[in-house]
Structure formats: C-alpha cells, structure tokens
Amino acid sequence: MNHRTNLSAALAVGIILGLSGCASADSKKEGFGRLSVAEVAAKRTQEGFYVYDNNPKEVFEKGHVPGAKWLDSSRVVAADLPADKAATLVFYCANEH
C-alpha cells in the first residue's frame, strides 16, 4: 500500500481533526472538522500542523501520508502529542467506522 492509497483511504473515511472517532454537528464548536486530501497535502509542511496515522503498525510501514507519524490510538499519551495547544492535529486511518 503506498501513500496515495492511504490518502484515498483517509479521504474515504473523512479526515478528522482531534482525537474523536467521528464528528457530530456539535463537534464544530469543539474545533473538530474535516479536511480534503488536497488540504492536508497543502498544509502538511506548515509549522503547527501534525498528521498522525492510526492504522496498524504493519499498514503504516507499508505506506503512509508523507510526514505522518504513527500513533497507536489505544495507547496514546500526552507526550505523543505536541505541547502546543493551538496546533492542528490530523488523525487518519483506513477504518470504515
């Protein structure tokens, strides 16, 4: 699987900002939202913009969004995330849920 496949998978399930598994109408108030693959690609090198891959480690190793960091969503701790509370965090996976 290459990074283009992962990008397509991320778009298919929607790229969610934040740690939530899905966004609701009220989530916009909390700063959650969606970005297109093109928007992520355009912003991924900006300061304060972080992309995390939540796929299984084997999937990540086969291919991922360039610059994405692997993060085990079941074991995330504060030290895994940037200290900057104003940072934009993008989490993606190929999960259909």
DSSP state at residue 88? E
Distance CA 15, CA 40 (A): 9
List the domain boundaries for the chain.
3-92
Residues facing residue 89 across a β-bridge: 50
Query: pLDDT digits over 42-56, tens only?
Result: 998 999 999 999 999
Nearest Cα neighbor of 75 from 51, 49, 96, 57 is: 57
- Render pLDDT for 1-40 as a digit per residue (tens, 0 to 9): 444 444 444 443 343 343 333 344 444 456 678 888 889 9
DSSP percent split of the chain into helix, strand, coil, nearest 5: 35, 20, 50
